[in-house]
């Protein structure tokens, strides 16, 4: 059974999460992704915590399925090798600050001159153009500048970052889609193109309050655990700090919930009769729902009762509970895969699996590479001997250790 991207070669210069996450998705579906990493240090993601056997465990996810070679981009010998490799490539992906790749002679215009059909992805915080182009930035910058952080947190509390680097993940998903779409366009027209992917743009695209602010003078801000336009649709507290999510904002679901709670009068109460009135009187609504939830010693009992009549609800799980969720293991959402060869004590690692399920071309769960694991395999294909590779790597290692 062939994979969607069999035969597609990606030269991957990306670091951290957004770019590597995007190219890893192509690797999941068959692309040959050749990761170009700095000697000694490698991708920035290799330096973060938590660590397993001294190595960043997160990199085992973000660089899954890839090959790794180490090159010093400021060395003319590397540029010569990369030009040869790129002639055989379909995609080049990079995530440096705008303008940095031009200093290496590896910008889109330079690459297009040697490979006219190349698809060239540039991932940055704020895009390749505009007043913010040169602004250094990461996920947390995109969260803050997009309005998302101001929308997150308690109503009377400070802005709060989201619990995961959502800007990076959105950037990765958008970048993966963009590369797939560009490949489709090239199949139809023969044309490559440059993709300018901004984390900030992606986060603004997710700000669903923007239209109201721009057109209706609504001044949206934090609403805590409850939505501004749907209720009940949020987090509710039960006994002893137990909590759950309830989504019963539609007319039918609200009637069912009122009857379950033994409070049919709320169906006609002007404060709670409609979705609009419930959002305007959210504190009163929360009080009514939570007083019912607190009648259960275990909030699981309330969830079971609500589910029995078709109300959408669930317990709020912590990550330990997610890891133990057998359904997620059965679906391959969480998997156990081989570690790179350098690992001695842990021959497998548990990590997030691929989450896109396709019946004809399923994703393949593959391990991440060690830093420079594939130097000989690729660099000998482009004219270098093993002795020359070893000599070059030793020179670069000495240089990078001093930096």
* Backbone phi and psi for residue 12, each to the nearest 5 degrees, phi listed first: -110, 110
3-state SS, residue 345: coil
Which residues sit opposite 331 in a β-bridge?
none
Tokens of 137: 């930035």
Rounded to an integer, what distance in angstroms lies between the CA atom of residue 68 and that of residue 36?
Answer: 6
Q: Taking the CB of residue 255, how many other CB atoms lie within 10 A of it?
A: 14
* DSSP code for 380: G
Rounded to an integer, what distance in angstroms lies between the CA atom of residue 173 and that of residue 64?
Answer: 15
Tokens of 216: 């209706």
Whether the Cβ atoms of residue 231 and residue 223 lie closer than 8 Å to each other: no
* DSSP code for 244: E
74 counts as catalytic: no
Sign of the C-alpha dihedral computed for residues 324, 330, 334 and 339 taken in this order = positive
Rounded to an integer, what distance in angstroms lies between the CA atom of residue 97 and that of residue 14?
Answer: 11
Rounded to an integer, what distance in angstroms lies between the CA atom of residue 315 and that of residue 303?
Answer: 7
Q: Taking Cα atoms as reference points, which of 3, 25, 6, 30 lies closest to residue 14?
A: 25
* Displacement of CA 385 from its chain's centroid (Å): 38
Tokens of 102: 């031009």
The catalytic position among 168, 217, 283, 298 is 168
- Catalytic residue annotation: 168
């Amino acid at each position: 059974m062939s994979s969607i991207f069999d035969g597609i070669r990606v030269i991957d210069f990306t670091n951290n999460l957004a770019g590597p996450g995007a190219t890893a998705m192509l690797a999941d579906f068959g692309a040959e992704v050749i990761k170009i990493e700095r000697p000694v240090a490698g991708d920035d993601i290799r330096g973060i915590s938590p660590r397993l056997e001294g190595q960043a465990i997160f990199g085992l996810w973000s660089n899954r399925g890839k090959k790794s070679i180490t090159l010093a981009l400021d060395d003319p010998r590397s540029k010569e090798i990369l030009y040869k490799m790129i002639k055989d490539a379909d995609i080049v992906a990079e995530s440096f600050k705008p303008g940095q790749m031009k200093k290496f002679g590896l910008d889109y215009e330079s690459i297009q001159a040697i490979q006219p059909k190349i698809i060239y992805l540039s991932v940055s915080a704020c895009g390749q153009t505009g007043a913010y182009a040169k602004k250094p930035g990461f996920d947390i910058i995109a969260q803050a500048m997009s309005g998302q952080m101001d929308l997150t947190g308690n109503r009377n509390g400070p802005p709060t970052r989201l619990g995961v680097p959502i800007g990076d993940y959105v950037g990765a998903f958008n970048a993966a889609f963009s590369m797939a779409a560009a490949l489709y366009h090239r199949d139809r027209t023969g044309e490559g193109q440059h993709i300018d992917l901004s984390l900030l743009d992606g986060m603004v695209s997710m700000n669903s309050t923007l239209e109201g602010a721009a057109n209706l003078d609504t001044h949206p801000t934090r609403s805590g655990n409850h939505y501004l336009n749907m209720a009940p649709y949020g987090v509710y507290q039960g006994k002893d700090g137990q909590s759950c999510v309830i989504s019963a904002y539609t007319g039918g679901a609200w009637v069912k919930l009122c009857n379950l709670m033994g409070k049919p009068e709320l169906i006609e109460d002007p404060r709670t009769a409609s979705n609009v009135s419930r959002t305007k009187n959210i504190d009163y609504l929360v009080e009514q729902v939570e007083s019912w939830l607190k009648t259960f010693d275990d909030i699981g009992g309330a969830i079971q009762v609500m589910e029995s009549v078709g109300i959408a609800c669930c317990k709020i799980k912590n990550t330990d509970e997610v890891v133990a969720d057998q359904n997620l293991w059965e679906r391959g959402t969480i998997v156990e895969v081989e570690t790179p060869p350098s690992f001695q004590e842990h021959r497998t690692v548990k990590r997030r699996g691929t989450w896109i399920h396709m019946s004809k071309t399923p994703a393949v769960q593959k391990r991440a590479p060690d830093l420079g694991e594939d130097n000989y395999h690729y660099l000998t294909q482009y004219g270098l001997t093993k002795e020359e590779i070893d000599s070059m790597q030793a020179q670069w290692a000495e240089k990078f250790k001093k930096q």
